[in-house]
Structure 1
Amino acid sequence: MNGDTAWAIYETRLRRVSAYIHDHLDEELDMGRLAEIACMSSYHWHRIYRAIHGETAAMTVKRLRLHRAAGEIVRGDLAIGDIAKRSGYPNLQSFNRIFKTAYGMPPARYRKEGSHSLFNAVPLEKATDMFDIAVKTVSPMTLTGVPHRGSYMLISKAFETLFGTLHARGLAGPDMRMIGVYFDDPDIVPADNLRSIACVTGVVMPMEGEPLQRQPIAGGEYAVLRHKGPYADMHRAYRWLYAEWLPASGRQIGDGAMFEEYLNSPRDTPPTELLTDIYLPLA
């Protein structure tokens, strides 16, 4: 077996592991069971997973559960205790402690005072001083991505598949930019039917190569809002763009899809320090 064949086998097996993790976050995820899904010994598969994904499987599970919990805290009225239990924590105290370490404040306070609250009823003249927004000209791009169907909060599943595939095929590079393209309005389209694609720039690949596919980005002018904070907070930034900035700007929306560029990685960046540029196409 040559090196390329071996990595192709690892890619398929670890893709199964990544899909299983995302689809079973509500369950107790036994590391031995994940090794069985990968069809490798526990001794080896942990090392291969970390080499490809840049973190252990246990770290992935913890990060994804907290990410989902943050979204549920911001967007719903589910009790914090129920969210803690759903996230796999034995009691509310331990969940509060872990959440505060990651997000900078306890979950109950985060529900009221997280960075999403900055966008509540902020007058445009004040918001332009508070928020980093500019109109930029973007050149046409052709991205490489993995499609996702479902809640935008769960697009991380497609990104895990994307990066695992690129690393296994030797296509990953240090200068790749991480971009998510979003095609539907989550306030109108049911969560299960939302369409998006997790992408990177700078990959040279043939057109055939599942699960990878090409995604063009139209060139032109975009309003670009830089958001600092957890991904769960960004829906308020979108609403501010549409309800406050766009009418006051005198501009009209273009035909292209909105996209987000992630300027740092949730694998090694605290949620409160995540930087995301939100691109709104303009006519």
Structure 2
Amino acid sequence: MNPRQSQALYRERIALAVAAIVREPLADHTLHSLAALAHFSPFHFHRVYLSVTGETVAATIRRVRLAQATRQLVRTEPSVTRIGQDAGYDSPQAFSRAFRQFAGASPLAFRQRLQAGPVVSLETLPALHIHALRHVGPPATIAHTQRRLRLLLGQTPVRARLGLAWGDPEQGEDFVYYAGAELATPLPPTPDVQTLSILPGLYAVHTLTGPYTQIGAAISALYATWLPQSGYEPENRPVLEHYLNSPRDTALAALQTRLMIPVRALGALEGAGA
């Protein structure tokens, strides 16, 4: 087995443990139970997990629970107190403190911001040719796929760092994600990095300020609150995430991400066929 195959096997086995956490974030996940899922010795599992994911098991569990809370806050119910209890916090104060650290705002302020409705513009983008690495594993480990792409590209000049998503991350197998980069100098495809061509078209664009963990909730809010009243409908191109800065040199609360949903005028397809 060559080094690339060995690394892929490590990632696949650790992904089994992460998937178990995502599937049941409130379960009593122990190092022994997760090590068994990943087929590693419990004595070495945590170091392997940390090396592959870049965080501890406890940090993953905490992050997944709080990410789940952001999705619940998109809706008007349940209450903030109940959401905190569902996330495993014994008191509203403890939940509010942890959530503020995670999302840069209190749960109530986060919910109010979502309910106020996102600021959206419409932009027509040209065709895009993206060097991309397909994500393998649950959505919670997307950051690690982005990190792998940076390592694979090395010192190659990058015009834009992107995420490309097809489907809903809540629907498991129907969700496909690529970490992508628009390069100043094209590179030949490799066994890992391939070239994706995205057709030109119209996008609904919202700029999110805050941690990447808010992206899922922000996109859900766009679909739930903006799209039904907009006069537009989704088109069959990927949702794009354009990362304007980087957590390597920017505070989490100051991260900016352009979220771009491909759209067309409502009923345009029927009109074209008439």
TM over 0.5: yes
> Displacement, 1:213?
9.1
Q: 1:51 to 1:134 in 2, by over 3 A?
A: same
CA distance in structure 2 between the aligned counterparts of 1:96 and 1:6, rounded to whole angstroms = 41
Q: What is residue 177 of structure 2 aligned with on the other side? A: 198
CA distance in structure 1 between the aligned counterparts of 2:33 and 2:249, rounded to whole angstroms = 26
CA distance in structure 1 between the aligned counterparts of 2:222 and 2:136, rounded to whole angstroms = 24
Q: What is residue 235 of structure 1 aligned with on the other side? A: 220
Q: What is residue 58 of structure 1 aligned with on the other side? A: 58
Q: 1:163 to 1:18 in 2, by over 3 A?
A: farther
Q: 1:100 to 1:42 in 2, by over 3 A?
A: same
Q: What is residue 260 of structure 1 aligned with on the other side? A: 240
> Displacement, 1:192?
4.3
RMSD of Structure 2 on Structure 1 (CA): 4.1
> Displacement, 1:8?
4.0
Q: Is the CA contact 2:207–2:258 (under 8 Å) kept in the aligned structure 1?
A: yes
Q: 1:214 to 1:242 in 2, by over 3 A?
A: farther
CA distance in structure 1 between the aligned counterparts of 2:59 and 2:123, rounded to whole angstroms = 36
> Displacement, 1:199?
0.7
Q: Is the CA contact 1:139–1:218 (under 8 Å) kept in the aligned structure 2?
A: yes
CA distance in structure 2 between the aligned counterparts of 1:50 and 1:255, rounded to whole angstroms = 39
Match of 2:206 among 204, 222, 225: 225
User: Relative contact order: is structure 1 or structure 2 higher (C-alpha 8 Å, sep ≥ 6)?
Assistant: 1
CA distance in structure 1 between the aligned counterparts of 2:100 and 2:117, rounded to whole angstroms = 22
Q: What is residue 258 of structure 2 aligned with on the other side? A: 277
* Matched AA of 1:136: L
TM-score, normalised with respect to structure 2: 0.68
Q: What is residue 151 of structure 1 aligned with on the other side? A: none
Q: 1:240 to 1:268 in 2, by over 3 A?
A: farther
CA distance in structure 1 between the aligned counterparts of 2:203 and 2:253, rounded to whole angstroms = 25
Match of 2:161 among 177, 182, 185: 177
> Displacement, 1:146?
4.1
1:119 aligns with 2:117: yes
> Displacement, 1:240?
3.0
* Matched AA of 1:261: E
Q: Is the CA contact 1:143–1:201 (under 8 Å) kept in the aligned structure 2?
A: yes
* Matched AA of 2:208: H
> Displacement, 1:243?
3.1
Q: Is the CA contact 1:178–1:262 (under 8 Å) kept in the aligned structure 2?
A: yes
Q: 1:81 to 1:282 in 2, by over 3 A?
A: closer
In the TM superposition, what whole-angstrom CA distance separates every residue of 1:100-127 from its partner, at most 9, and x where no partner exists?
A: 232344323432x23x24427xxxxxx6
Match of 2:142 among 140, 152, 159: 159
Q: What is residue 45 of structure 2 aligned with on the other side? A: 45
TM-score, normalised with respect to structure 1: 0.66
1:145 aligns with 2:134: yes
Q: 1:64 to 1:134 in 2, by over 3 A?
A: same
Overall identity of the aligned pairs, in %? 25
Q: 1:195 to 1:279 in 2, by over 3 A?
A: same
Segments of structure 1 that go 5 or more residues without pairing to the other structure are 121-126, 149-154
CA distance in structure 1 between the aligned counterparts of 2:9 and 2:221, rounded to whole angstroms = 42
Q: 1:183 to 1:23 in 2, by over 3 A?
A: closer
> Displacement, 1:177?
3.1
CA distance in structure 1 between the aligned counterparts of 2:89 and 2:97, rounded to whole angstroms = 11
Segments of structure 2 that go 5 or more residues without pairing to the other structure are 182-186, 265-274
SS at match of 2:88: coil
Q: Is the CA contact 1:13–1:39 (under 8 Å) kept in the aligned structure 2?
A: yes
Q: 1:171 to 1:48 in 2, by over 3 A?
A: farther
How many pairs are equivalent?
Answer: 248
> Displacement, 1:10?
1.7
